[in-house]
């Protein structure tokens, strides 16, 4: 039975835990707690899965910017793979693998360094030379020098995954409330109509929205994506230029990097851009042009394809590029508040790992990876980002 709740202004309902935000992270968290038999409330002010989750690319990828990022993405990818056989077809899970594409000898050195890091962590990967790269992806520019194939990375369709986790949580008894939370503190979430949801713990899984906890150290980082018409067989793997790592690290300036994904429909999802300080959700045609030119530079045949739709979304970036998972200690004295926020460009990948870490942490169970690098308390002494 699918459960949606309604409460009138004067009403009060009690739960073990209330999750604010039904993006992919909040839905995964809600399901994880519902599985333990806890009574879960979920509050969503918009469409479930309609925030950054609907705007994202759905690449489930192991990334190695830092040991902590590597640990969480590797753990999360494993959880996706463990669940792959029971995901509904609508989630479009495909273990297509990633190829990190090297444009020159310097980037080929990075390929080898990356492979070393992956090998030490037990992540399968294989170096491709120019001929092997051309064979794997015939539409790439011929002058490229090689790449790193990471065969167990995958892709999903994120809003469908969020919807699946939510429906599972509801099947296990969780109640969804369609309302904005206007206050969340001291074990009480207040809805727009004045109704109150009480719980020992509140999890804020609010994406880029910081109004419930304005000290949340999260900045909005805009991104563009474009989807094409159907071109079956054009692309087999998710391709990412190695220069992506350099551009994704730029904290101030706008950047674009070649990143392309095959969809089960035969469509190609082309990304991506990163911009701070642009709060306009509209498409920035100059950045879009740069992004598409970059894609054509890597795959010349893209110049002849037709694009059906272009959109933008906002990533929730933290100062150290790691998410905030755990009690809000250090940001708030309120012991009832927990966070699952700040996932920047990896929230689709990390949703399952974050949900598991949060649940194990809250129930004092042994955590399968060290949760310390993601604890919000690490932000206590850092400069607080002021939100308008």
Ligand X SMILES: Cc1cc2nc3c(=O)[nH]c(=O)nc-3n(C[C@H](O)[C@H](O)[C@H](O)COP(=O)(O)OP(=O)(O)OC[C@H]3O[C@@H](n4cnc5c(N)ncnc54)[C@H](O)[C@@H]3O)c2cc1C
- The contact set with ligand X (CB under 6 A) reads 20-26, 43-46, 50-53, 55-59, 180-181, 205-207, 209, 212, 223, 225, 271-272, 313-315, 343, 345-349
CB of 229 to ligand X, least distance (A): 20
Q: What is the DSSP letter of 215?
A: T
By beta-carbon proximity to ligand X, the closer residue of 42 and 108 is 42
CB of 223 to ligand X, least distance (A): 3
CB of 209 to ligand X, least distance (A): 4
**Strand positions, DSSP E, the chain:** 4-5, 12-20, 40-44, 59-60, 98-102, 126-129, 146-150, 154-155, 175-178, 181-185, 188-191, 196-204, 219-230, 238-241, 255-262, 267-276, 307-317, 324-327, 337-341
By beta-carbon proximity to ligand X, the closer residue of 27 and 148 is 27
By beta-carbon proximity to ligand X, the closer residue of 219 and 272 is 272
CB of 147 to ligand X, least distance (A): 18
By beta-carbon proximity to ligand X, the closer residue of 114 and 190 is 190
CB of 106 to ligand X, least distance (A): 25
Backbone φ and ψ of 15, nearest 5° = -135, 170
By beta-carbon proximity to ligand X, the closer residue of 23 and 376 is 23
Alpha-carbon distance of 361 to 17, in angstroms, equals 14
CB of 18 to ligand X, least distance (A): 11
Alpha-carbon distance of 263 to 270, in angstroms, equals 11
Alpha-carbon distance of 273 to 284, in angstroms, equals 10
Alpha-carbon distance of 273 to 265, in angstroms, equals 24
- For 255, other C-beta atoms within 10 Å of its C-beta total 20
Residue 163: name the closest of 31, 33, 262 by CA.
31
By beta-carbon proximity to ligand X, the closer residue of 105 and 280 is 280
């Amino acid at each position: 039975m699918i459960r949606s709740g309604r409460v009138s202004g004067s009403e009060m309902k009690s739960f073990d835990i209330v999750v604010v935000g039904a993006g992919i992270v909040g839905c995964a968290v809600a399901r994880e707690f519902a599985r333990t038999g806890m009574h879960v409330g979920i509050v969503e002010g918009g469409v479930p899965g309609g925030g950054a989750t609907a705007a994202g690319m759905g690449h489930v990828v192991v990334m190695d910017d830092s040991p902590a990022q590597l640990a969480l993405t590797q753990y999360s990818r494993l959880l996706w793979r463990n669940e792959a056989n029971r995901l509904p077809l609508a989630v479009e899970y495909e273990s297509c693998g990633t190829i990190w594409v090297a444009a020159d000898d310097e980037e080929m050195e990075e390929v080898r360094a990356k492979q070393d890091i992956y090998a030490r962590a037990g992540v399968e990967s294989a170096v491709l030379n120019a001929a092997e790269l051309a064979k794997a992806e015939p539409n790439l520019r011929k002058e490229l020098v090689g790449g790193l194939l990471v065969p167990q990375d995958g892709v999903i369709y994120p809003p469908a995954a969020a919807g699946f986790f939510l429906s599972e949580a509801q099947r296990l008894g969780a109640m969804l409330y369609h309302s904005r939370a206007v206050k969340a503190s001291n074990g009480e979430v207040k809805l727009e109509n004045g109704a109150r949801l009480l719980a020992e713990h509140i999890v804020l899984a609010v994406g880029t929205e910081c109004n419930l906890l304005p000290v949340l150290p999260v900045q909005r980082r805009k991104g563009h994506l474009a989807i094409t018409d159907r071109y079956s067989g054009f692309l087999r793997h998710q391709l990412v230029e190695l220069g992506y790592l350099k551009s994704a690290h730029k904290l101030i300036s706008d950047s674009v990097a070649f990143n392309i994904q095959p969809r089960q429909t035969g469509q190609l999802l082309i990304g991506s851009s990163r911009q701070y300080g642009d709060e306009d959700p509209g498409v920035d045609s100059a950045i879009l042009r740069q992004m598409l030119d970059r894609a054509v530079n890597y795959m010349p045949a893209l110049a002849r394809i037709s694009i059906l739709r272009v959109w933008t979304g906002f990533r929730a970036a933290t100062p150290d590029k790691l998410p905030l998972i755990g009690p809000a200690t250090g940001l708030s004295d309120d012991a009832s508040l927990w966070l699952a926020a700040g996932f920047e460009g990896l929230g689709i990948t990390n949703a399952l790992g974050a949900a598991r870490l949060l649940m194990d942490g809250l129930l004092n169970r042994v955590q399968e990876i060290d949760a310390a690098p993601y604890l919000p308390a690490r932000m206590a002494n850092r400069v607080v980002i002021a939100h308008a």
